[in-house]
Homo-oligomer: A and B are copies of this chain.
Amino acid sequence: MMLVAKPHIVILGAGYGGIVTVKRIAKQLSTNDANITLISKHDYHYQTTWLHEPAAGTLHHDRTRMKIADLIPSHVQFIEDEVVEIHPKENKVSLKNNEQVTYDYLVTALGSVAETFGVEGVYEYAFNKWTLNGARELREHTEYMFAKYNNEQKEEYLTFVVAGAGFTGIEYIGELSERLPELCKEFDVPMNKVKMYVIEAAPTALPGFDPELVEYAMNLLENRGVEFKINMPISKVTEDGVILKDGTEIKAGTVIWATGVRGNPVIEKSGFENMRGRVKVTKDLRAPDYDNVFIIGDCSLVINEQTDRPYPPTAQIATQQAEVAARNLANLVKGRPLEEFQPDIKGTVASLGGKEAIGVIGDKKVFGFSANFMKKMIDNRSLWMIGGTGLVIKKGKNPF
């Protein structure tokens, strides 16, 4: 009898892409086929697409997170550590606290960080971390600003500037504006003292969305007191607020940066050819120069051939890529041909806080209650993908 060396599959990141890859690959390969290791800097997964809720304080952050140990099969090894660098030529990964880990196959699903577009002061003065820790800090900062106001009466404490009227910015201000009456009551602050700005450099809010939906969203948010400044780039974030392209200063105790993302800096550091931290992957989702390295989610770049532009980084794409990456890993291990990734965009729904949302499902525009219903079903489906019915029951959202 001969012992055959089993290949070591390493998955980096426990976001949508990483967790779904682990779950699928663990089903497709038996413990005799491969050893599987998941590496993540936290011992928990969280629903990134829900973070606007804990960030505004409308949902507790624990509703968005799950222990990784509860999500992955017991034969998958888990290492809680931060990835510092990938050495694709040596099939190794450097970690912050542990020794290097070697792999035979790698799946890189390390997510993204804020894109500043070169604007000064974003990392220093703006809330830019769309993570569980970042969302919790923003929630606490917001409440702290309200609490400070009554002692110092500085109106800027009650001014909130959201940079970017894309998906994230709109969903966040939707939650904050929805929560405002409660915050004002808790902190004895008159509603009319609170200022909320959404500032967008592009000529429209929610670029890419149907104009009718954009108008619906803007009207609704304006009725809740949100002021939009569209077609107005921010030139600088300072300790006191933001300075706009036209020279105007908006003093604000809280600036939230939501102008989009770039791939995890580990990608650039590791020498992969990239555009803003995203690797233009092959059709079967591998790094162009490394046959044993898959890159998925926000670190990958896939071109939409109809528009000749990259697909925006979304949970939907990351999850679909994870399923293909898992099958292709199995194909590689078993010596079978690889399949190509073909995104299947089912729709997009943006919540606007409370029972409000807008979106497109297939070709159909949805508003208000039905959009909100769809949004919650999408959120529940996302839970189901990583944790099945049990997780939906435990952490899911009631659409009614």
Contacts and interface: CB of A to CB of B under 8 A. Distances in A.
Given A136-B147, A136-B150, 4 more contacts: A137-B144, A140-B146, A141-B147, A143-B144
A193 interface: no
Contacts of A144: 137, 140-141, 143-144
A147 B151 CA distance: 22
B137 A140 contact: no
Contacts of A133: 147, 150-151, 188
Interface of A: 129, 133-134, 136-137, 139-141, 143-144, 146-148, 150-151, 187-188
With most chain B CB atoms within 10 A of its CB, the pick from A134, A137, A143, A147 is A147
Contacts of A143: 140, 143-144
A129 B141 contact: no
Nearest to A136: B147
A137 B129 contact: no
Contact of A148 (B137, B146, B188): B137
A144 B144 CA distance: 7
How many copies of this chain sit in the oligomeric assembly? Answer: 2
A96 to B, nearest CB: 12
A150 B42 CA distance: 11
In the A-B complex, the 7 residue pairs with the closest CB atoms = A140-B147, A140-B144, A137-B147, A133-B150, A144-B144, A136-B147, A140-B143
A154 to B, nearest CB: 13
Nearest to A61: B186
Contacts of A139: 147
A361 to B, nearest CB: 36
A31 to B, nearest CB: 32
A140 B149 CA distance: 12
Contacts of A141: 144, 147
Contacts of A147: 133, 136-137, 139-141
Contacts of A140: 140, 143-144, 146-148
Contacts of A146: 140
Nearest to A148: B137
A60 B133 CA distance: 25
A140 B143 CA distance: 6
A185 to B, nearest CB: 10
A252 B364 CA distance: 55
A139 B187 CA distance: 12
7 contacts: A133-B150, A137-B144, A137-B147, A139-B147, A140-B140, A140-B148, A144-B144
A189 to B, nearest CB: 11
A333 to B, nearest CB: 36
Nearest to A43: B188
A297 B144 CA distance: 31
A187 B150 contact: no
Nearest to A131: B151
Contacts of A137: 144, 147-148, 150-151
A46 to B, nearest CB: 12
Contacts of A134: 151
Nearest to A129: B151
A146 B147 CA distance: 16
A16 to B, nearest CB: 21
